[in-house]
Homo-oligomer: A and B are copies of this chain.
Amino acid sequence: MSNKIRWGVLGGGGDSLIGVLHRVAASMFDAYQLTGAVFNPDYEENIAFAKAIGIPTHRIYTDFDTMVAEELQLPAEERIQVFSVLTPNFLHFPMAKKLLESGFHVICEKPMTMMHAEALELERIHKEKGVHFALTHTYTGYPMVRQMKAMIAAGELGEIQKIDAQYYQGWINPIIHDPAQRSSTWRLDPAKSGISCCMGDIGVHAYQMLEYVTGMDIKAILADLNHLYDDNQMDIDGTVLLRLGTNAKGVLRASQIATGEENNFTVAVYGKKASLKWEQENPNYLYLLEDGQPVRVLKPGHGYNSRVSLDGTKLPPGHPEGIFDAMGNIYKGMAKAVRGESYDPMEFPSMRDGVRGMSFIEKSVQSHKEGNVWISL
Q: Is the CB of B173 within 8 A of A272?
A: yes
Q: Is the CB of A161 within 8 A of B54?
A: no
Determine the chain B residues whose CB is within 8 A of the CB of A229 once the complex forms.
Answer: 247
Our pick among B30, B318, B323 for the contact of A23 (Cβ within 8 Å) is B30
Our pick among B17, B54, B258 for the contact of A162 (Cβ within 8 Å) is B258
Taking the complex as formed, is A123 at the interface, i.e. its CB lies under 8 A from any CB of chain B? Answer: no
Determine the chain B residues whose CB is within 8 A of the CB of A298 once the complex forms.
Answer: 294
What's the least CB distance linking A362 to chain B, in Å?
Answer: 20
Interface residues of A in 242-264 (CB under 8 A from B): 247, 249-251, 253, 255, 257-264
Taking the complex as formed, is A369 at the interface, i.e. its CB lies under 8 A from any CB of chain B? Answer: no
Taking the complex as formed, is A117 at the interface, i.e. its CB lies under 8 A from any CB of chain B? Answer: no
Our pick among B258, B319, B372 for the contact of A263 (Cβ within 8 Å) is B319
0/1 interface trace, chain A 311-354, chain B, CB 8 Å (1 if under): 00011111111111100100000000000000000000000000
A320-B261 CB under 8 A given contacts A291-B170, A372-B241 = no
What's the least CB distance linking A222 to chain B, in Å?
Answer: 6
Taking the complex as formed, is A227 at the interface, i.e. its CB lies under 8 A from any CB of chain B? Answer: yes
A226–B27 CA distance with the chains assembled, in angstroms: 42
Q: Name which residue of chain B comes closest to A258, CB basis.
A: B270
Give the size of the chain A interface in residues (CB under 8 angstroms). Answer: 95
Q: Is the CB of B283 within 8 A of A320?
A: yes
Our pick among B239, B289, B372 for the contact of A374 (Cβ within 8 Å) is B372
0/1 interface trace, chain A 147-166, chain B, CB 8 Å (1 if under): 00000000001000110100
Taking the complex as formed, is A237 at the interface, i.e. its CB lies under 8 A from any CB of chain B? Answer: yes
Determine the chain B residues whose CB is within 8 A of the CB of A251 once the complex forms.
Answer: 239, 251, 253
A289–B294 CA distance with the chains assembled, in angstroms: 12
A28–B280 CA distance with the chains assembled, in angstroms: 22
Taking the complex as formed, is A292 at the interface, i.e. its CB lies under 8 A from any CB of chain B? Answer: yes
Taking the complex as formed, is A293 at the interface, i.e. its CB lies under 8 A from any CB of chain B? Answer: yes
Determine the chain B residues whose CB is within 8 A of the CB of A162 once the complex forms.
Answer: 226, 237, 255, 257-258
Taking the complex as formed, is A274 at the interface, i.e. its CB lies under 8 A from any CB of chain B? Answer: yes
Determine the chain B residues whose CB is within 8 A of the CB of A324 once the complex forms.
Answer: 28, 314, 321-322, 324-325
Q: Is the CB of B272 within 8 A of A177?
A: yes
0/1 interface trace, chain A 1-44, chain B, CB 8 Å (1 if under): 01110000000000001001101100110110100000000000
Taking the complex as formed, is A216 at the interface, i.e. its CB lies under 8 A from any CB of chain B? Answer: no
Interface residues of A in 159-188 (CB under 8 A from B): 161-162, 164, 169-171, 173-174, 177
A230–B262 CA distance with the chains assembled, in angstroms: 41
Q: Is the CB of A17 within 8 A of B226?
A: no
Taking the complex as formed, is A130 at the interface, i.e. its CB lies under 8 A from any CB of chain B? Answer: no
Q: Name which residue of chain B comes closest to A265, CB basis.
A: B318
Q: Which residues of A contact B (CB under 8 A)?
A: 2-4, 17, 20-21, 23-24, 27-28, 30-31, 33, 51-56, 157, 161-162, 164, 169-171, 173-174, 177, 222, 224, 226-230, 237, 239, 241, 247, 249-251, 253, 255, 257-264, 268, 270-275, 280-284, 288-299, 302-304, 314-325, 328, 372, 374
Q: List 16 A-B contacts (CB under 8 A).
A: A2-B56, A20-B315, A24-B27, A161-B237, A161-B259, A230-B247, A258-B268, A259-B290, A260-B270, A261-B318, A262-B316, A281-B318, A281-B320, A294-B296, A294-B304, A320-B322
Given A259-B273, A280-B320, A282-B320, 8 additional A-B pairs, CB 8 A: A162-B258, A226-B249, A229-B247, A281-B318, A292-B303, A293-B304, A296-B297, A319-B323
